[in-house]
Each structure stands twice: as C-alpha cells, then as structure tokens.
A and B are shown apart, each in its own frame.
Chain A
C-alpha cells in the first residue's frame, strides 16, 4: 500500500468557480454579499427594506435561493431591480455553479451591488464560497442567544452579524448583549449591527455599512 499526501480542498471545484466569480466581480467593481441565516430570521425582509431604501439610481441585482417556489423573487422584484430566483430543488445551499449560471445573461457592467440570499440554513451554506466579498449572517431576536455557539461555523466565517427584529426586544426575554458576546467568542473580529425593518431609522447603521462597502469595492 502506498500513501501519498494530498494538498487540496475537498470542495476545490466549487473553490475554483468561486475564485473566478470573485475575479469577475472585482473587475467590474461589484460588491457581492452572501446573506445566510436560519429560515425566518428576516433575510427577504431585510433585502426588501434595503431595496426600498436604496437610491433608485443604485445599480443593484439580487439572487435569491430557495429549495422551492419563486415567492421571494416575486417579493423582491417589486422594487424595480433585476432579481432572479435560484430553485435548488432540494439542495440545502447555493454553490458557485448556481451563481455562475444565474448571472450568465446579466450585463455585469450595469451592476454595482449583488445581493445573494442563500437558502435558509445556518449550516450548509457556510461551506460554499460564492465569490462574495463578505458573508453576512442574520440572527433574529426570536431565536436563542446561544445560536452563535451552536452554529459556530457561520459566525466564524461571516464578516458582519446583523441582529434582526430588535423592535421586538421589549416583548421578549432575549438578551441581545449576550447574543453579541457569544458571536464575539466565536469570532472576535466580527462586526455587529442591530437592525429593525419596521422602526424608523432601524436600518440606518446597516445602510451606512453597505454604502461604505460599496465605495471601497468601487475604489479597489
């Protein structure tokens, strides 16, 4: 028997596609964000409210992944930006090929911001690089404060943690500081923003973060 060392990633084929996508995004000055959370944390609502708040001149495109239905794409298409649904047909995550295929007929010169809503799942999407500039993990205040410890992988890999639905805090026993401390235990460098899609100004900090990121992507 002969043992030979291998130096490769298990998901090297996905990694190859993701690196090609990343290069393409960079070339066109596109900021790409990959939104990941459990089902029901408010990814689609956050994107809807973000699209509504953005200047109509902003050149944004959205890809939204679900196992079934194009409900999310129909919700998001109301804001006049190009939106495409990726139906994974059972697969629990998006992968690089799905993004590549979905974007094949888009003119990338006309896009500055690409928002990818992953399949609702806190585990599997964290393994698949989509060529994004940053992963954004969402956790809503109706979930548990210990979610970052139960699902450390995605908090470890995300640059930004959005704590959503904070307008509900007065009605809940949820300890927002503890949730944030747990996320920092897993990933001390993670950026954290609290947001609400129903309160006036509830998205200001998030929108500022987004606009700064877009400026950086354009300048790079």
Chain B
C-alpha cells in the first residue's frame, strides 16, 4: 500500500545523484529489501514501472534484491539465515540469538549511461590531477 511512496522516494534519491552528475541518465537502480521490511516486492515493482512508463525516466529499470533475515548466535557466533521464523541457532541449538538487519530498505547501486559518465569522470580526474599537481 505504501509502495508507491517508496517508489517515489527511490526516484528522488536517484534525482539527487543525477543532480551531482549533470548530463548523466540513470539506466538501472538496485534496491535491497529485507524480509522484515514490510515492503512487497511485486507491488513495489508495479508502482515503480507505472511511474517510469512514458515519463522522462524511461528506460530506467528497478532490480529488487531480496535479503533474508539473518541472526547471530550469542553462544557460538554462528551467523544463520532465519527459516520459518525460527530464531534458534541451527549449529548449537542456543535460543538466544541476535537479529542482523532484516528490515533493510536500501539503495544498493545505480547504473548510469556510459559515454557521458566517462566524460564527466575524465573531467573530474583531470581537475583532481591539476588540483594536486598531477600526483596520483
């Protein structure tokens, strides 16, 4: 239900990145969603695609990376993926374990179109070299 707001937030975050790199276009964005994040991947994909279609964002694509909930055993330090909500350590059977994330809703990567990115990077590199007297 809130996936439309989340899709809009993803686009605002991309816009903020593009503003720092004039002339570039975003082609693909990767977003990591934890299994405890209360975000429905299918619904987010649908909302995202609906905003992008026939807009200036085309042909931007969204890749959703699903992250399983993980826990860390307090006794044997085993890091394990939680299956069927079972928080007990599968290695030693200890019941006290600690959540490691699970509620992620993170921007993972952004793919930009190459020619202009390279140009911008080259210009940046040149500027950096000048600024530091050519040292690398």
- Residues of A at the B interface (CB closer than 8 Å) are 1-14, 91-93, 121, 123-124, 126-128, 149, 151-154, 156-157, 182, 185-188
Chain A residues near B118 (CB-CB < 8 A): 2
For residue B110, CB closer than 8 A to chain A, the reply is yes
B70, chain A: closest CB distance, angstroms: 13
- Residues of B at the A interface (CB closer than 8 Å) are 1-2, 5-6, 9-10, 12-13, 17, 27-28, 30-31, 35-39, 69, 85-87, 95-97, 99, 102-103, 105-114, 117-118, 121
Chain A residues near B114 (CB-CB < 8 A): 1-2
Contact assessment for B110 and A127 in the assembled complex, using a CB-CB cutoff below 8 Å:
no
Contact assessment for A6 and B105 in the assembled complex, using a CB-CB cutoff below 8 Å:
no
Contact assessment for B1 and A124 in the assembled complex, using a CB-CB cutoff below 8 Å:
yes
Can you identify 29 A-B contacts, CB atoms within 8 angstroms? Answer: A1-B113, A1-B114, A2-B114, A2-B117, A2-B118, A3-B110, A3-B112, A4-B110, A6-B17, A6-B110, A7-B106, A9-B105, A9-B107, A10-B31, A11-B6, A13-B9, A13-B12, A14-B9, A124-B1, A126-B38, A127-B2, A127-B37, A152-B85, A156-B36, A156-B69, A156-B99, A157-B103, A186-B85, A188-B97
A123 to B95, CA, bound (A): 28
Contact assessment for A127 and B12 in the assembled complex, using a CB-CB cutoff below 8 Å:
no
A153 to B60, CA, bound (A): 29
Chain B residues near A126 (CB-CB < 8 A): 38
Contact assessment for A188 and B87 in the assembled complex, using a CB-CB cutoff below 8 Å:
yes
Known contacts A9-B105, A149-B85; A123/B112 CB under 8 A? no
A123 to B1, CA, bound (A): 8
A128 to B105, CA, bound (A): 11
Contact assessment for A151 and B109 in the assembled complex, using a CB-CB cutoff below 8 Å:
no
Contact assessment for B112 and A1 in the assembled complex, using a CB-CB cutoff below 8 Å:
yes
Chain B residues near A3 (CB-CB < 8 A): 28, 109-112
B120, chain A: closest CB distance, angstroms: 10
Contact assessment for B13 and A12 in the assembled complex, using a CB-CB cutoff below 8 Å:
yes
B119, chain A: closest CB distance, angstroms: 11
Contact assessment for A1 and B2 in the assembled complex, using a CB-CB cutoff below 8 Å:
no
Contact assessment for B106 and A8 in the assembled complex, using a CB-CB cutoff below 8 Å:
yes
Chain B residues near A11 (CB-CB < 8 A): 6, 9, 105
B9, chain A: closest CB distance, angstroms: 5
Contact assessment for A124 and B2 in the assembled complex, using a CB-CB cutoff below 8 Å:
yes
A149 to B13, CA, bound (A): 32
Chain B residues near A2 (CB-CB < 8 A): 111-114, 117-118, 121
A187 to B107, CA, bound (A): 25
Known contacts A2-B112, A156-B102; A123/B107 CB under 8 A? no
Contact assessment for B38 and A154 in the assembled complex, using a CB-CB cutoff below 8 Å:
yes
**Partner pick for A123 among B10, B38, B108, CB 8 A cutoff:** B38
A123 to B5, CA, bound (A): 13
Contact assessment for B85 and A124 in the assembled complex, using a CB-CB cutoff below 8 Å:
no
Chain B residues near A121 (CB-CB < 8 A): 1
A189, chain B: closest CB distance, angstroms: 8
Contact assessment for B107 and A127 in the assembled complex, using a CB-CB cutoff below 8 Å:
no
